Amino acid sequence: MKTLRYGVLVITMLLSVQLSAQQLPQFTQYMFNPISINPAYAGSRQVLNLTALHRNQWAGLDGNPVTSTFSVHTPLQNERVGLGISYITDQLGFEKTDYVYGDFSYTIPVSFEAKLSFGLKGGFTNYRLENPDINDPFFVDNFNSWQPNIGAGVYLSTNRWYAGISTPRILNTVINQGEFEALERVSYYAMGGLVLDLTLDIKFRPSFITKFTNGAPATYDITAGFLFYEKFWAGASYRFNDASNFGAYMDYQVSKDIRIGYAYDLPTGIIRPYTGGTHEVILIFEPRLVKSKNLYRSPRYF
């Protein structure tokens, strides 16, 4: 059984590498960490925001994808300017990719309620491949490469809806020097969401995210979430095309500064019999250190 599980993972890895190369991982709780793909989101929370997320994909398979992210972003005293930094580490079998990027945003009001933000992202991607057996002819030698890249995004929002488009990696970067398939291809993201009052204490928040990558199938995530008493989030999601799966999540506002969440995904494809699903946890910390002059304060839905 262990050999079979490993074989399924290898096939999946090969398909993934062939179709999409080194692309940013996707998350079930994407709506709570947009800065990982859109630099225009930096500072939009109007407070210092620290977000940590850990995703264990296809649990039970040897060498399964494991991803951790950490981001920090905040508005400056000039609240039109936001700064941030994000780190992603993604382990898939013998491959490991680290992303270290800084974010800059500038916001302008476009109406009494809406504001439009423009963002730039810049940093480095590190790709490493470790050969566990130097005598195995099917593996290349150990490989380690750092490559720079840039990104950009636009984010339009009010306190009730948001929409954004971005390309977190603009350059088609060759990080393997022709030895094997490991490229950063340009990806384009579109995301949006809104909040509707169902009752005085219950709110409905649908959202979506789409991803288009050169040379790879498009993916579409649709999520339906509910907020109860400004404290408890619960929702479900479905991802189309790329590794289609059902997901569900729960988030709880522990205090005015701290929120924790958990998400579970169940794949629907050929890998389903060999895995216990995907687990994802998120921690959000927003200390109220700086008073904001902006009209929209807590609660924040985006």
Q: Does any domain span residue 108?
A: yes
Q: Could you tell me the pTM of the whole model? A: 0.86
The lowest-confidence range among 148-152, 155-159, 177-181 is 177-181
Q: What is the pLDDT of residue 5?
A: 45
* Residue pair 260/25 in contact by the 8 Å Cβ criterion: no
The lowest-confidence range among 112-121, 207-216, 253-262 is 207-216
pLDDT of 16 strictly over 80: no
> CATH number, domain at 141?
2.40.160.40
pLDDT of 240 strictly over 90: no
Q: What is the pLDDT of residue 54?
A: 97
Q: Does any domain span residue 295?
A: no
3-state secondary structure of 189: strand
83-128 tens-digit pLDDT: 999 999 999 888 899 999 999 999 999 999 999 999 999 999 998 8
The domain tally of the chain equals: 1
Q: Does any domain span residue 302?
A: no
Q: What is the pLDDT of residue 218?
A: 87
274-284 tens-digit pLDDT: 788 899 999 99
43-95 tens-digit pLDDT: 999 999 999 999 999 888 888 899 999 999 999 988 899 999 999 999 988 88
For residue 103, with 0-12 CB atoms within 10 Å meaning exposed, 13-18 middle and 19 or more buried, which class applies? buried
Which residue bears the tokens 């994909």?
Answer: 57
* Residue pair 164/190 in contact by the 8 Å Cβ criterion: yes
Domain limits for position 197: 2-285
pLDDT of 265 strictly over 50: yes
129-151 tens-digit pLDDT: 876 655 555 555 667 888 899 99
Q: Does any domain span residue 291?
A: no
Strands (DSSP E) contained in the chain are 49-56, 66-75, 81-92, 95-109, 115-129, 143-157, 161-167, 173-174, 183-184, 187-194, 196-197, 202-213, 219-228, 232-240, 245-253, 258-267, 278-285
pLDDT of 233 strictly over 70: yes
Q: Does any domain span residue 292?
A: no
Q: What is the pLDDT of residue 171?
A: 84
Q: Does any domain span residue 301?
A: no
Average pLDDT, the chain: 84
Q: What is the pLDDT of residue 24?
A: 77
Q: Does any domain span residue 105?
A: yes
CA distance 13 to 65: 9
Report which DSSP code applies to 172. Answer: -
Q: Does any domain span residue 186?
A: yes
